Structure 1
Amino acid sequence: MKSPALLPFRLVPWLLGGLGLLAAPRTSLGQLAPDQQLAKQAFAELEAASQHDGGKLWGTPLYGPLLLVTADSRRIVANAPDSAGVLHEAAGLYEGELPAAVNVANTAVQWAGRRWAMVQLPLPADPSERVSLLAHESFHRLQPQLQLTSPEADNAHLDEAPARAYLQLELAALRRALLAQSRRSTTAHLRAALAFRAYRRSLYPNATAAENQLELNEGLAEYTGLVLSERPATEAGAYLRQSLLDFPQTPSFVRSFAYQTVPVYGYLLRKRTPDWNRGISNQTDLTNLFTTSLGVAMPRNLASWTASALSRYGGKAILAQEAEREQQRQQQLTAYRRQFVEEPHLIIPLRQLNIAFDPRTAQPLAEAGTIYSTLRVTDSWGILTVEEGALLGPKQDQVSVGYPAAMQARSVTGPGYTLQLNEGWQVVKEADSGNYVLLPVPTQP
Structure 2
Amino acid sequence: MSRFTKLVVVVVLGLGLPGAAQIDLQKAEQYLQEARQVCERDAGRLWGVSLCGPLMFVDPQSRMLVANQIDAEGRLRQEGNLFVGTYPKEMNIANQAVIWAGVHWTQLRWPVPGATAAARQGLLAHEMFHRVQERLGFKMASPPNAHLDTEQGRVLLRAEMRALRQALLLSGSARRRAVQDALLFRAARRGAFPQAEAEETGLELNEGLCEYTGIKLSRATLAEQHQAAADALARADKSDAYVRSFAYSTGPAYGLLLDTAARDWRTSLRRKPAGLESLLRIKPAAADSLGVRGAAYDLAQLRTEEAVRRQKMEERMAQAKARFVDGPVLTIPLVKAAVQFDPTNVYPFPGQGTVYPDLRLTDEWGILTVRSGGALVSSDWSKVTVAAAGEGWELELKPGWSKKPGPRPGDLTVSKDQ
TM-score bracket relative to the smaller structure: over 0.9
Aligned twin of 1:205: 194
Q: Given residue 416 of structure 2, which amino acid in structure 1 is its aligned partner?
A: P
Q: Which runs of 5+ in 2 are unaligned?
A: none
| Distance in structure 2 (CA, Å) of the matches to 1:371 and 1:282 | 36
| Distance in structure 2 (CA, Å) of the matches to 1:56 and 1:235 | 19
1:326 corresponds to which of 310, 317, 326:
310
| Distance in structure 2 (CA, Å) of the matches to 1:128 and 1:275 | 26
- Per the alignment, do residues 197 and 6 of structure 1 end up closer, same or farther by CA in structure 2, a change over 3 Å counting? farther
How many equivalent residue pairs? 411
Aligned twin of 1:343: 327
Contact 2:147 2:153 in 1 (8 A): yes
1:418 equivalenced with 2:408 (yes/no): no
Contact 2:261 2:280 in 1 (8 A): no
| Distance in structure 2 (CA, Å) of the matches to 1:249 and 1:197 | 18
Contact 2:161 2:237 in 1 (8 A): no
Aligned twin of 1:299: 285
- Per the alignment, do residues 142 and 21 of structure 1 end up closer, same or farther by CA in structure 2, a change over 3 Å counting? farther
Aligned twin of 2:145: 155
Contact 2:183 2:285 in 1 (8 A): no
1:311-349 per-residue CA deviation (whole Å, 9 max, x = no partner) reads: 111111111000000000010011001110112100011
Give the superposed CA RMSD. 2.1
- Considering Cα pairs closer than 8 Å and 6+ residues apart, tell me whether 1 or 2 has the greater RCO: 2
The within-5 A match list for 1:236-247 is 236-247=225-236
Aligned twin of 1:70: 59
Q: Given residue 383 of structure 2, which amino acid in structure 1 is its aligned partner?
A: Q
Aligned twin of 1:358: 342
| Distance in structure 1 (CA, Å) of the matches to 2:123 and 2:404 | 43
- Per the alignment, do residues 337 and 386 of structure 1 end up closer, same or farther by CA in structure 2, a change over 3 Å counting? same
Q: Given residue 116 of structure 1, which amino acid in structure 2 is its aligned partner?
A: W
**Secondary structure, counterpart of 1:271 in structure 2:** helix
The within-5 A match list for 1:373-412 is 373-388=357-372, 389-404=374-389
2:356 corresponds to which of 343, 355, 372:
372
Q: Which runs of 5+ in 1 are unaligned?
A: 25-34, 405-413
Contact 2:258 2:280 in 1 (8 A): no
| Distance in structure 2 (CA, Å) of the matches to 1:84 and 1:282 | 36
The within-5 A match list for 1:30-429 is 35-123=24-112, 124-149=114-139, 151-180=141-170, 182-281=171-270, 283-292=272-281, 296-300=282-286, 302=287, 304-388=288-372, 389-404=374-389, 414-429=390-405
Identity %: 36
What TM-score do you get using the length of structure 1 for normalisation?
0.88
| Distance in structure 1 (CA, Å) of the matches to 2:69 and 2:262 | 35
Q: Given residue 215 of structure 2, which amino acid in structure 1 is its aligned partner?
A: L
- Per the alignment, do residues 191 and 210 of structure 1 end up closer, same or farther by CA in structure 2, a change over 3 Å counting? same
What TM-score do you get using the length of structure 2 for normalisation?
0.93
